């Protein structure tokens, strides 16, 4: 489900149930982007593949990309939370169950293991004992509510 006011360009594949909010930007002009199932891309989020070698950016399932985050990572696993204005630099690799806090930065080519939490103004790190909550319920709710307030692209028949 993609809002008409979202901007998508280049070779992009969206998995079933993924929700792209109004004014989100997904840019695959240099190289492809593959998003899995049930991801949420919120307003003002930017997902962009800037890989100079043309390698696809691979994003797993059930990730949440919050308002105005910037994602130029090489790969992102499943069930991650990329929070408001977080910045994932080019080449970063995010495993599964990670939480990147508001305005936190993942440096270029950094590799995060499962359940890494980055938080605070100085980007402190720890490993969580559990994964973040699933986004499935949020996806379902958004698929019902967004068309009430925004024009959406119709799925291909």
Q: What is the CATH number of the domain that holds 98?
A: 2.160.10.10
Question: How high is the pLDDT of residue 157?
Answer: 41
pLDDT digits (tens, 9 = 90+) for 45-78: 999 999 999 999 999 999 999 999 999 999 999 9
With respect to residue 154, please indicate whether it lies within any of the assigned structural domains: no
Number of domains in the chain: 1
With respect to residue 94, please indicate whether it lies within any of the assigned structural domains: yes
With respect to residue 1, please indicate whether it lies within any of the assigned structural domains: no
With respect to residue 107, please indicate whether it lies within any of the assigned structural domains: yes
Residues 75 and 91: beta-carbon distance below 8 Å: no
pLDDT digits (tens, 9 = 90+) for 95-117: 999 999 999 999 999 999 999 99
Residue range of the domain that includes 136:
7-149
More confident residue, 133 or 62: 62
With respect to residue 156, please indicate whether it lies within any of the assigned structural domains: no
SS3 content of the chain, % helix, strand, coil (to 5): 10, 35, 55
φ, ψ at 137 (rounded to 5°) = -65, -40
With respect to residue 138, please indicate whether it lies within any of the assigned structural domains: yes
């Amino acid at each position: 489900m993609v809002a008409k006011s979202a901007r998508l360009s280049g070779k992009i594949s969206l998995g079933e149930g993924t929700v792209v909010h109004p004014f989100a930007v997904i840019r695959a002009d240099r190289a492809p982007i593959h998003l899995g199932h049930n991801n949420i891309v919120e307003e003002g989020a930017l997902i962009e593949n800037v890989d100079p070698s043309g390698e696809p950016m691979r994003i797993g399932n059930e990730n949440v990309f919050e308002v105005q985050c910037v994602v130029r990572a090489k790969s992102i696993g499943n069930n991650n939370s990329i929070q408001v204005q977080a910045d994932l630099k080019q080449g970063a690799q995010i495993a599964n169950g990670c939480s990147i806090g508001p305005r936190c930065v993942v440096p270029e080519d950094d590799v995060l293991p499962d359940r890494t939490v980055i938080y605070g103004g100085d980007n402190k790190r720890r490993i969580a004992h559990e994964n973040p909550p699933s986004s499935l319920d949020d996806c379902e709710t958004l698929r019902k509510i967004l068309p009430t307030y925004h024009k959406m692209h119709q799925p291909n028949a």
